[in-house]
Structure 1
Amino acid sequence: MSRRSSRASMGGDNGEFYLECKAAYLSIYDSIKDEIESEEDLVQVLQQAGRNPSKKVLAKYWKADTENLAFDDFVEICKKEKATTADDLMKAFRKIDINGDGYISLEELYKIMTTKGEKMTRSEVKKMIDDVDENKDGRLDYGEFCKMIMETTEECKKMSRKIMEKKEQKRRREDQIKTSDSRAGSQVSLKSTTSLRSHNERPMSASSRSTKGASLAGSRKSLLSVDDLPKPSPRNKKSKGAAASTLSKLTEPKNLKEWTHTPSKGMFFLDEDTGNLLCHQYDLKLTEDTSVWITIQPLKSRCLADVDHVVDTGLFILRDKPDEDGNVLVSFTKHRDAKGKYGVKCSMDAGDYRIIPFTTGSRLKKREADPSSSAKLLQNKDGKYTISRAFRKALEDIFDLSDLDGNGTMSREEFNWYNIRTSDEEVGDDEWEVVEERLELENGEITKNGFLQLNELEAEDSNGDEDDMWVTLESLGFNKNLVMDEACPFLIDVYTEDCDDAEFKVAAIEEMMDKLQRPLCQSVMEKGEASKIKGMKDLTMYTYMSDTRATVVLDNKSYSTVQVNLDCTGSQNCLTNRPSLDETFTVKSQSQIIAYHFTPDNEDEEWNIKCTEIIQK
């Protein structure tokens, strides 16, 4: 995209348009000289300018080879992509009006506000409605809905103008008074998408990249000074004895055999494109207050790579809705037995919960290289294509792992989750009708033989083309030798003492960290050891260390974006989720990031974490 000047000869409406663009930009960045460095930040600054770009629109401006965009590029985009129109509002109204009665109720708006973007509490959503609900019937008609949106937009514009004016006033003062001890830290009070702000704080934009500027509301200056940079702050190493020496049996509840038991299998996957971790995630519904014991362990399968170690598996228990303090974290697994099973016991109130499996990524990683040869999936017998013996074995293993409840057959729901992962499509009524007509079923569920029949039918129709079959296999973590090396199956067992009708079922296959970033950081900050980083009073490193996992979180409470180099090369007997033990991290203002996960390489030996931090200019 060309970087033509957008400022030349702007007057009247054009001048007003330019000022709106500038105000929107300066509500995110310190200066219009700063560049947009990610697609995520492009979305936020466009939203600040009253645009709501779709993925298709974004793809036009942020392409695979785009590294950054300048302010002038942003102005050009705003020229082409118009602000929200009446038609857009009508479409949005109809989408939120789930029952189509011409009104948006508190429940309908609350559902949207707690599933999309920044989460809001019920009281916040109610206040939004009350502010514009002119006839006080507790719901919004189209006119009231439009008023709510437009008032929010105007309020946002006014705030952006105020921010711009404050920054320009400060810049003029700084131009007039240049002193040798001027501060290097930015003071822009802006939130990152991974911020651990309390639930009732208003959402704020992405952080600035500049090292100059004023805070969003004239907040205090960052305590990062030039004199303090760069000075390494070595830490005492955090050591653990041999993990194996502490691992024996989990302390299970004594009367566990009397508790209600619900199991489910699942899998961790590595996304083929991004390398991010995906996993089955679960809803747990409790109708009674009860003690709960939950375990998770990796599953063995003949299709898995033959390795000495087991992939670390844990889980987090989250509330379906935040508590009064804005927290969703209930508990997480801390203890493990010698075979790799993690367990956690807690008392839980009746209600809805989300169970998210967790692995550090220190063992389950993208393969370094593909095998030089490929297994044959099909064979031609008398002019008819059938699945090969090796492929049949892999399919049998896939069936066993996709049979989530372990009853020996695959239900429609289980087949649907298999289909979502392998083809990104749900099983419709027509497709299931074909399954019922052509495949072997037992009690309305697909048998293993029926699953093999399905693949034989696909082989017959393939004309020898194996491409679609490889897409399926690769989505499940198989390499060209039919070894599952980019996925890890697991088993979760849920036991409830006083709730006989607990419901535990798969709710999604999603990126593991989508809902886990905030509660994982919270767990480290609550349970870990805090270390102030020299050179910046508002920057803290938290290190959580159990017998089998260590996690490092950086918490930046200042109003500056800061870069921190963490050199952990002095650590011993460690595996990490990062490519290197010496990396530089950008921590946006008022936010937290997960810097490192560690696990012991050899559990029979002592392991320790030693990090040295340097704040970089």
Structure 2
Amino acid sequence: MASNPGSDAALGTQNPLLSGSPRTKKFPLTEQEVFYMNCRAAYLTIFKSSLENIISKDQLYLGKFFEVEHFLLFIKVRNVFQHEPPPCLLMCICFPRLPTIGLSFCKLYMTTSEQCLKTTLERLEADSKLRRQQFGSHMEGSPERGPSPAPKPSPRVIRKNDQETFSSKGDTSHALLSTTRKFKTSVSFTMTMSANSNQDSTLTEPNLKDWQCAQSKGCFFLEEDGEVVSHQYKMHIAQRSVLYLTIKPLYLSQLEGKRCPWLSVDTALYILKKNENPAEPQLMCFTELRNREVFGWTGELEAGIYWLIPSTTGCRLKKETKPVTEEAQLVHRDETGELSLTSEFRSTLSEIFEVIDLDGNGLISLEEYNFFELRTSGEKCDEDAWAVCRESFDTKKNELTRQGFMDLHLMEANDREGDPLDLWVTLHSMGYNKALELTEACPFVINIYAERCKPRIKVVHMEACSGQLEKAICKSVLDRSDAKVMDGYENIIVHTCNYDTWITSIIENKSDNKVIIHINNELSKNCVNNRGLNIFAVEVAPRSTMVCQHVMPLNEQEEWIYCCVYSLVA
């Protein structure tokens, strides 16, 4: 997916910041990628974004319009810089008469410019969203190189410290493209949507008297790179029956004053049926109707085994940007010096217990506990370890009670003599911030009602919401979309589907070549999209279809206007 950056090796060999990053530990950067990153960072020491262009002599002593891609090419071909470190780049270009100013000024400028570049690189390393905006897929591993091998996870640290997901697909979003790119052709969509009234219900619950019900809980977890991980399910229907399926955010009792932002997160459930080709299950339906926070579907399904894949658009479940100024206390010592959990932390652990108690029976089984362990430590608890757990903590019917779950974490605190580091790793992995607010996860509950038989539902995986889900979303849009062909390029089609409460667009590339599509949402009003950017670009692999973006109203009580221009980049 990534376009090829410059190839000058000398420009990128002296940066210690890159050598120890999570990305390079798993799959070392190529010389081209290091070159590209350092040049981008040098560019960003002057400009806020790679969208900004150099347009004046004060910015660059060349006297003409200049954009970041031209800048990279310019650096690549200027052999005079082959043996100088990246910080020299802007200094030498912007001040071609620098040698006449004096050696002392040179040294001062060199020190300052090197510090600027170091600061920029550190900021990019720390902020994954900013890094994706400025570098796009250049730092994500190209399809030709393949995905990075996943390292063996360390207990309690896999999700928040060491692991990044690098895509090997040909459909990840590109960096922000310069607005000066040349476009071959464009298509646009404009939709004016009325405010969503919470009193109007498009989802009608049937008369469920005498229907049999199955229920399971689950959770969406937001990864560092913005990817969403969730539980996935298998459903068994014994005989042909009318079904009523719903999914909604799970309400958790909160301490007074605590925020519950996950209750506004959109949820959906895609139902796929196994067929002759296990790799290509058939999309049967999805929960597109809505009543307040509940999304549902009613219809008839024949007997068989179905896959249930939860989904959220990502418009509302996003990385938290508001800094937390005060860290909650997790443990304290009483008058006798004994360690105990604070009431606020016990309340949070009780919430986590509710989330991981997937069947809702008030107890944690080994299977349920292992989904929790996979999330927080990356490892499973075997039967022998579980037997020790049952002997050490309060259990009932060979399952862990709520009190036993509390005592387990108290033991963990005692093992660290009150140091809460491991406890915080668990909390962050489960989506909590330093104020013990659940901001980067969304627990949900699935209900299945069947008229003629007892439905069964079982959690089978907890993994990234991609792959089959991407295909299911594309299929659902293709079946009912407003399609527009790029003028003069009949093999490039943009499909947009309005689901009343959200809009999804996909891009279909029927050609034998990859294409780059530039997306501009700047004229949209009261809208938020899952990309988090008004302007971005995506690369679509040959003969493939990909989800471009999901869009929802920022404020559901007000009218929202979706206005988007899709342009084929030359």
Corresponding position: 1:441 with 2:395:
yes
1:504 to 457, 481, 484: 457
3-state SS of paired residue (2:423): helix
1:586 to 526, 536, 539: 539
Q: Which residue of 1 aligns with 2:206?
A: 253
Corresponding position: 1:523 with 2:488:
no
> C-alpha separation between the residues in 2 aligned to 1:385 and 1:191?
54
Q: Which residue of 2 aligns with 1:330?
A: 284
The offset of 1:242, in angstroms, is: 1.6
Q: Which residue of 2 aligns with 1:378?
A: 331
3-state SS of paired residue (2:471): helix
Over 3 Å counting, the alpha-carbon distance change for 1:245 and 1:495 in structure 2 is closer
1:396 to 350, 354, 377: 350
Q: Which residue of 2 aligns with 1:269?
A: 221
Q: Which residue of 2 aligns with 1:62?
A: 27
Corresponding position: 1:427 with 2:381:
yes
Matched residues, number = 414
The answer (yes or no) to whether the contact 2:262–2:441 under 8 Å persists in 1 is no
Q: Deviations over 1:474-522 (max 9, x none)?
A: 010000111110001111001122222x320111110012321111111
> C-alpha separation between the residues in 1 aligned to 2:505 and 2:240?
34
> C-alpha separation between the residues in 2 aligned to 1:247 and 1:36?
56
Over 3 Å counting, the alpha-carbon distance change for 1:571 and 1:309 in structure 2 is farther
Q: Matches of residues 56-205 of structure 1 in structure 2 within 5 Å? A: 62-63=27-28, 68=33
Q: Which residue of 1 aligns with 2:294?
A: 341
Q: Which residue of 1 aligns with 2:50?
A: none
3-state SS of paired residue (1:517): helix
The answer (yes or no) to whether the contact 2:5–2:32 under 8 Å persists in 1 is no
Q: Which residue of 2 aligns with 1:574?
A: 527
Q: Extract unaligned runs of 5+ from structure 2.
A: 8-22, 36-142, 147-167, 172-181
Q: Deviations over 1:120-165 (max 9, x none)?
A: xxxxxxxxxxxxxxxxxxxxxxxxxxxxxxxxxxxxxxxxxxxxxx
The offset of 1:59, in angstroms, is: 7.0
> C-alpha separation between the residues in 1 aligned to 2:198 and 2:282?
34
Over 3 Å counting, the alpha-carbon distance change for 1:288 and 1:374 in structure 2 is same
> C-alpha separation between the residues in 2 aligned to 1:496 and 1:615?
47
**Amino acid in structure 1 at the alignment position of 2:219:** M
1:362 to 315, 337, 356: 315
The answer (yes or no) to whether the contact 1:192–1:207 under 8 Å persists in 2 is no
The offset of 1:399, in angstroms, is: 1.0
The offset of 1:250, in angstroms, is: 2.2
**Amino acid in structure 2 at the alignment position of 1:401:** V
Over 3 Å counting, the alpha-carbon distance change for 1:65 and 1:483 in structure 2 is farther
The offset of 1:341, in angstroms, is: 0.1
> C-alpha separation between the residues in 2 aligned to 1:309 and 1:380?
35
Corresponding position: 1:281 with 2:232:
yes
Q: Which residue of 2 aligns with 1:553?
A: 506
1:484 to 428, 431, 438: 438
The answer (yes or no) to whether the contact 2:492–2:510 under 8 Å persists in 1 is yes
> C-alpha separation between the residues in 1 aligned to 2:279 and 2:344?
54
Q: Which residue of 1 aligns with 2:135?
A: none
**Amino acid in structure 2 at the alignment position of 1:496:** A
Identity of aligned residues (%): 33
3-state SS of paired residue (1:342): strand
Over 3 Å counting, the alpha-carbon distance change for 1:66 and 1:333 in structure 2 is farther
The offset of 1:231, in angstroms, is: 5.0
Corresponding position: 1:319 with 2:279:
no
Q: Which residue of 2 aligns with 1:221?
A: none
3-state SS of paired residue (2:490): coil
The offset of 1:433, in angstroms, is: 0.7
TM-score by length of 1: 0.62
> C-alpha separation between the residues in 1 aligned to 2:393 and 2:353?
14
The offset of 1:285, in angstroms, is: 1.7
**Amino acid in structure 2 at the alignment position of 1:300:** Y
2:489 to 536, 561, 582: 536
> C-alpha separation between the residues in 2 aligned to 1:463 and 1:610?
57
> C-alpha separation between the residues in 1 aligned to 2:31 and 2:236?
44
Q: Deviations over 1:211-259 (max 9, x none)?
A: xxxxxxxxxxxxxxxxxx62553535122222226732621223x2211
**Amino acid in structure 1 at the alignment position of 2:451:** E
Q: Deviations over 1:277-321 (max 9, x none)?
A: 011111112232222211001122245734597111111011234
The answer (yes or no) to whether the contact 1:191–1:206 under 8 Å persists in 2 is no
Corresponding position: 1:471 with 2:436:
no
Over 3 Å counting, the alpha-carbon distance change for 1:279 and 1:69 in structure 2 is same
Over 3 Å counting, the alpha-carbon distance change for 1:61 and 1:470 in structure 2 is closer
> C-alpha separation between the residues in 1 aligned to 2:211 and 2:31?
55
Q: Deviations over 1:312-346 (max 9, x none)?
A: 111101123467995521111111002x1011123
Over 3 Å counting, the alpha-carbon distance change for 1:250 and 1:371 in structure 2 is same
Q: Which residue of 1 aligns with 2:249?
A: 298
The answer (yes or no) to whether the contact 1:553–1:592 under 8 Å persists in 2 is yes
Q: Which residue of 2 aligns with 1:461?
A: 415
> C-alpha separation between the residues in 2 aligned to 1:569 and 1:356?
32
> C-alpha separation between the residues in 2 aligned to 1:233 and 1:246?
39
Q: Which residue of 2 aligns with 1:409?
A: 363
The answer (yes or no) to whether the contact 2:249–2:443 under 8 Å persists in 1 is yes
The offset of 1:412, in angstroms, is: 2.2
TM-score by length of 2: 0.67
